Structure 1
Amino acid sequence: MTSLLRERVKGEHARVGFVELFFDLVFVFAITQVSHNLLAHLTPLGALQAAMMLAAVWWAWIYTSWVTNWLDPERGPVQVALFVLMAVGLVMSAALPHAFEAQGLAFALAFVGIQVGRTAFMLWAVRDTVSLRRNFLRILIWLLASAVLWIAGGLAEPSQRLWFWLAALAVEYASPALYFFVPGLGRSHTDDWTIEGGHMAERVGLFIIICLGETLLISGATFAGLDWSSGAVWAAFVSAVLSTVAMWRLFFSQAHESASHAIMHAADPGRMARKAYTYSPILVIAGIMVVAVSDELALAHPDGHVSTAAALTLLGGPILFLLGTVVAGWTIWGRIAWGRLVCCAVLAAGWLVVPWTTPLILSVASTAVLMAVGVWENLKARAT
């Protein structure tokens, strides 16, 4: 049988296939579902549940991206596998809003189907490649262990579901850090994770664009139903658009291209990709999602009272985003973007003036901070 693995040409960038982009469309729906659920449940419990759902969605997507980094998406069996994953992903996404209610088992079964099914397919696809076969056998064992917790949570009472699923996520997120160690099978080695850095960077970048696009969709949909004669509404809308543009600029700066180059030429690209593109983007994505919620709150009530929940989203979203980019930069170059950390501190200090502000003022202020750090970094880059 013809190999399903990509044919790698040294020095050439493995392009992202159209079927991979098609697959990503499912996750536009998933991210929107998580964002809307957070907006509807702006409580500590609602925030925790939204964080868990986002973590699950991200994990399903990033594991698939690792797989398509190895597999050739132009091969028929690979495309069929991705189409099946898309169908199951739609079920998972549809169940998200009620995952902690009546549709818990549906969500759990769909998520487990994606994780276990994709890994089983990969195990078959690389059966002639010893190192990858052993690697994915270990991964499959870990995912089967977490599957028990996911399904047990789906079967449990809603009040108990949280604890089962927290444990399941802990197993899934710990496994790469533990190199998928399995007694009798040993552990995986990052030098076996032969990835193409440019492809991985592009895939993660495309997911970030999905999240930024979801932010714009929420802002546009909310703005469409409001009173356009209100200057405050227009100001909140402009602030929402500019904050999204600022986040795009901060993420897709020259550093993003440099990160791709660094991974491509790293002595151990698997280790670097695990840190830079498996774990750290979750903070960036969480920040974008929270900003989307804050934009909708500011648009709906620009001159209203700033509730505690609204203040946390208006200030916390940009903080999460900036912290995520700082962590990503540190994992690749070992350098800390102090300017971005200073902006996080400035945003945190905004909590002191919350009682005397409005959602619009906080929105404009947080947008100004995001734009300011971008301008400062551009000026700094030109001066060096």
Structure 2
Amino acid sequence: MAEDEQRGALYRPLVPDQHNRVTYAELFFDLVFAFAVTQISHTLLSHFTPLGALQTTLLFLSVWWLWVYTAWVTNWLDPEKTAVRVLLFALMLGGLILSTSIPKAFDSRGLWFALAYSVMQVGRAMFLLASTPPGRTMARLNAVRILVWLAGSAIFWVAGGFAEGQSRLVLWAVALGIEYLSPVVRFWIPKYGASSIADWAVEGGHMAERCAGFIIIALGESIVVTGATFADLPWTMDHVTAFVSALIGSIAMWWIYFHKGAEAGSEQISKSSEPGRLARLAYTYLHMPIVAGIIVSAVADDLVLTHPGGRSDLRTSLCEVGGPLLFLTGTILFKHTFRGFLQLSHGVGIVALGVLYWFAGQLSPLLLSILASAIMVMVAVWEAISLGSKAQSEATSA
């Protein structure tokens, strides 16, 4: 009984109508993933081919999955407890090994990447299982299900680490597919069956704040890349204009996500009768294109700063338009989960970006950047005005 109580003590206390704050240990842990995001953007920049883009996408999806699984676990377990903090610090070590392996993950450091990833995923699941007392039957069964799925995918990760060339890509794609499919089928395994959404007890405010923090990480990485590149360039009018355009684009992304969306999403998931379902869709899956869009935009900023003149090549056009396009697609779907309608401003922005891409090859990288940033500013201002007017009309009618 004493051992069960000790295990259960690692769980966060569930207090009705009280938001679990993000701890300093979690923020410290996130620093590793700030580095990982930087590695991904640099890898895409240096391997911008169809195969390189596919490989970088797989690496991004794996990094995101590692982070979001840890966010789920720290939603349940209390990082203020020493044992949970030690877990996070151990995961930081694994995360650093994984992050430093990213540029050569499909070359000489594939096995290091696979081992770091597998040990982090399986080890964290084992810790969750060991931390869950037998008295918490549903939580314990969920931990078992998660462990089985992650252990199964680890076989393909490690096998891919030993393989070479296209075989590694295929094996890792299978491993990632297993992991992304598992929440959809609610971690079904023989004998135990599938979990129910009601079993996924989640503190919505904490999950929303954690994912908002990752958006800040990605935006911060974008600003770091922009600033580092600009610092090494001559400060000509073109370079200064490109720098300002990149910063305005990042500010517009922040405004679109945080001005109304992040807070409304946090309130909605906190009040939801099925927070687990909303957390799985809105924060586990739909945040992927949002983060990916920021990373691709950071690559575009680097390309434009380095070569602002001439005509935009295919790489610059794809990144400069594709980054905001991914971001808006993710945000419009994310906001749809709690607003129940597709934001018109975002839809118009997506269409405008599509039109811009049609003419991108005829424009200079600098002009393309300015127009893409202008579209994002238009979306941010439009949404702010429309939601402000709606709130004012509702207040007047009330």
Residue 18 (structure 1) aligned with residue 33 (structure 2): no
1:153-302 mapped onto 2 (5 Å cutoff): 153-228=160-235, 230-302=236-308
Corresponding position: 1:133 with 2:165: no
Shift of 1:205: 0.4
2:368 is equivalent to residue 378 of structure 1:
no
Equivalent positions of 1:33-48 (< 5 A) are 33-48=39-54
Counterpart code for 1:30? A
* Counterpart check, 1:49 vs 2:89: no
The percent of aligned pairs where both chains have the same amino acid is 46
Please state whether the residue corresponding to 1:199 is helix, strand or coil: helix
2:325 maps to 1:319: yes
Deviations 1:22-61 (A, max 9, x none): 0000001100000000000111111111111110000000
Q: Secondary structure at the match of 1:291?
A: helix
Q: Which residue of 2 aligns with 1:79?
A: 85
Worse-matched range after superposition: 353-362 or 72-81 = 353-362
Question: How far did 1:334 drift?
Answer: 2.7
Query: 1:304: how far off?
Result: 2.7
Q: Quick check: 212-221 or 297-306, which moved more?
A: 297-306
- Asked if residue 366 in structure 1 is aligned to residue 365 in structure 2, the reply is no
CA distance in 2, matches of 1:27, 1:214: 10
How far is 1:327 from its partner? 1.3
Q: Is the 8 A contact 2:314 2:361 kept in 1?
A: no
Distance of 2:361 and 2:43 partners within structure 1: 27
Deviations 1:112-159 (A, max 9, x none): 011000000000011331111100100111011110111111111123
Q: Which residue of 1 aligns with 2:149?
A: 142
CA distance, structure 1, for counterparts of residue 359 and residue 341 of structure 2 = 32
Q: Give the TM-score, by structure 2 length.
A: 0.95
Write the distance in 1 (CA, Å) between the matches of 2:149 and 2:361.
48
How much does 1:303 deviate?
Answer: 0.8
Which stretch shifts more, 257-266 or 174-183? Answer: 257-266
The answer to which of 216-225 and 157-166 deviates more is 157-166
- State the alpha-carbon separation in 2 of the partners of residues 86 and 316 from structure 1: 31
| Corresponding residue for residue 101 of structure 1 | 107
Q: Structure 2 unaligned runs (5+)?
A: 391-398
* Aligned-partner Cα distance in 2 for 1:279–1:332: 15
Distance 2:33 2:52 in 1: 20
Q: CA deviation at 1:193?
A: 1.0
Question: Displacement, 1:264?
Answer: 1.0
TM-score by length of 1: 0.98
Task: Please tell me the residue identity of whatever aligns with 1:277.
Answer: Y
Pick from 325, 335, 344: which aligns with 2:341? 335
Determine the C-alpha separation between the residues in 1 that align with 2:187 and 2:118. Answer: 18
Q: CA deviation at 1:306?
A: 1.0
- Structure 1 segments unaligned to the other structure (5+ residues): none
- Give the drift of 1:354: 2.1
CA distance in 2, matches of 1:379, 1:157: 53
Query: Cα offset for 1:376?
Result: 0.8
The total of aligned residue pairs comes to 383
> In the alignment, does 2:350 pair up with 1:344?
yes
Q: Does structure 1 retain, via aligned residues, the 8 Å contact 2:311–2:362?
A: no
Task: Work out which of the residue numbers 5, 15, 23 in structure 2 matches 1:9.
Answer: 15
Partners in 1 of 2:266 and 2:340 — Cα distance?
Answer: 15
Counterpart CA distance in 2 for 1:188 and 1:86 is 29
User: How far is the alpha carbon of 1:255 from its aligned partner?
Assistant: 2.3
Question: Which letter maps to 1:260?
Answer: S
Query: For 1:301-340, what per-residue CA distance to the aligned partner results, in whole angstroms no more than 9, with x for missing partners?
Result: 0113311111000111000000000111122333211221
1:200 maps to amino acid: M
Amino acid at match of 2:213: L
Q: 1:152 aligns with which of 159, 184, 203?
A: 159
2:197 maps to amino acid: T
* Alpha carbons 2:317, 2:361 under 8 Å: kept: no
For the Cα contact (< 8 Å) 2:294–2:327, is it kept in 1?
yes
**Counterparts of 2:125 and 2:47, CA distance in 1:** 34
Indicate the RMSD between aligned Cα atoms, in angstroms.
Answer: 0.9
| Match in the other structure for 2:34 | 28
